[in-house]
Amino acid sequence: MDFKVWRKATDEVVRELPYHIAEWVAEFGSLTQKLGHYVDKVRLDLLKEDKVQASPSESQILKLQPQEQAQLREVVLYGPDAPWIFARTLVPVSEEKLILDLGTTPLGSILFSSKELRRESLEVRRLDSNHAMFQQAKNYGLVQDQEQCLWARRSYWQNSQQASDGSQKKLLLLEVFLPASPLY
């Protein structure tokens, strides 16, 4: 199976993956909690918070209007002595309060304790050195080897119920497994 494009993490797709990869990319629970089995306290560095123009695929998933900006949060989560996960979160600016003041608090602490938000989809893929997320990780100094492919997953979250005004909270989370992570 080709993992050079995003694939829904169905049972069939997950069975195609080696176990040591599947146990991380198809983890339906909190990656932060899973990391907690390897370290006493999960360390998170906030790399960037800003309003940005989302990529075309991100805009489509979040149902953004043309030229509508999104609130961005990029972080890195660390294992015992090296960065393990690079994560990018996007929400419509109208929902920026979901992520704006998290600082170094892991997003998973909100997502998995919320009764409102639920994961609508989970997808997996391999990123080659030309992919924008690979390049961004490289720009932050998290990846050095251009020849290496990185595994990634993305999940789309939204309200389990519509608000009285008909709107729904939406959130897109992309997680890239860095070379030092136990996935490899």
SS3 assignment, position 25: helix
What's the order of all strands across the beta sheet hosting 7-8? 7-8, 117-127, 150-159, 170-177, 83-92, 70-78, 43-52
Q: Tell whether residue 90 is among the known ligand binding residues.
A: no
Q: Tell whether residue 175 is among the known ligand binding residues.
A: yes
* Contact predicate 126/4, CB 8 Å: yes
Q: Tell whether residue 107 is among the known ligand binding residues.
A: yes
Q: Which residues on adjacent β-strands are paired with residue 71?
A: 51, 91
* Contact predicate 120/156, CB 8 Å: yes
Known binding-site positions for substrate: 73, 107, 175
Known binding-site positions: 73, 107, 175
